[in-house]
């Protein structure tokens, strides 16, 4: 199984800050990496797919990068609505067996 | 715009079978092109993919749950369902249904979950 890790597990930031979250895979997954945002009591929402492609309707302050084993999600200027937990997910495993990272909680400093 | 909605009992007794249904609106399961998945989230924890079904009925399950999981589809009702047998307290979780999209336009196929249902909490307790 491909294991996913994220760092940090949580962070505190202020509105306007640039935030970077890291995701690491236990083996190379090329660009088969997605990012989701989850707010309390809500379902996850797709932000980024294929490591760097912005999902339609997602603000451009979100961006993704990386390939192989190391990936980052960047929020260029944190907005009040961005306080949430962020998960990465690999879609490399075939047949299916997609796994998620443990999440990074972004809260208000 | 496709929307998904989970339904089913919120309380299941240990050793019994958990049964949930996902109703899809705004699009047809039988149009193909997508996989229909179940994903769960233990309280305060991360996300675990359970399995998927295609409109044709083909399925694939998480190996860790495979012996207890059955996913089925009813295209006439535009629904797909999850059954998880022999449940224990460890199966207490929020269960989500989600559509798995795929883009193979660049030669490689990329998959992702979007959209998701709102989720339903299932508690296993006597």
Between A and B, how many CB-CB pairs are < 8 A? 62
Q: Note whether A74 and A90 are within 8 A (CB).
A: no
Residue carrying structure tokens 């999850």 = B82
Distances (CA, A) of B84 to A15, B8, B63: 43, 12, 13
**pLDDT tens digits, B4-62:** 999 999 999 999 999 999 999 999 999 988 999 999 999 988 999 999 999 999 999 99
Six-digit token string for A76: 């260029």
CB < 8 Å to A32, chain B:
110-111
Q: In this predicted structure, what is the pLDDT of residue B33?
A: 85
Q: Is A62 helix (H, G, I), strand (E, B) or coil?
A: strand
DSSP code of B22? E
Coil, helix or strand at residue B29: helix
SS3 call for B30? helix
Among the partner residues B46, B62, B108, nearest to A103 by beta-carbon distance? B46
A38-86 pLDDT tens trace: 999 999 999 999 999 999 999 999 999 999 999 999 999 999 999 999 9
A45 touches chain B (CB under 8 A): yes
A86 has a chain B CB within 8 A of its CB: no
Instruction: List phi, psi (to 5°) of B104.
Output: -110, 15
């Amino acid at each position: 199984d491909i294991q996913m890790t994220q760092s940090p597990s949580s962070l505190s930031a202020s509105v306007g800050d640039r935030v970077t979250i890291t995701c690491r895979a236990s083996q190379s997954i090329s660009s088969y990496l997605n990012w989701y945002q989850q707010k309390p009591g809500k379902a996850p929402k797709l932000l980024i797919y294929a490591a760097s492609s912005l999902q339609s309707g997602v603000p451009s302050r979100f961006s993704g990068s990386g390939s192989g084993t190391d990936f980052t999600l960047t929020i260029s200027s944190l907005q009040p609505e961005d306080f949430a937990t962020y998960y990465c997910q690999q879609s490399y495993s075939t047949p299916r067996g997609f796994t998620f990272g443990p999440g990074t909680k972004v809260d208000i400093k | 715009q496709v929307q998904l909605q989970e339904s089913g009992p919120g309380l299941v007794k240990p050793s019994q079978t958990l049964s949930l249904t996902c109703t899809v609106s705004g699009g047809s399961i039988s149009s193909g092109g997508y996989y229909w998945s179940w994903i769960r989230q233990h309280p305060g924890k991360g996300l675990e993919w359970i399995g998927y079904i295609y409109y044709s009925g083909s399925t694939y399950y998480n190996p860790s749950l495979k012996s207890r999981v059955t996913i089925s589809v009813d295209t006439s009702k535009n629904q797909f369902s999850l059954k998880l047998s022999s449940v224990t307290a460890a199966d207490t979780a929020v269960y989500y249904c989600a559509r798995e999209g795929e883009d193979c336009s660049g030669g490689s196929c990329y998959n992702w979950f979007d959209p998701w249902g709102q989720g339903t909490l299932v508690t296993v307790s006597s």
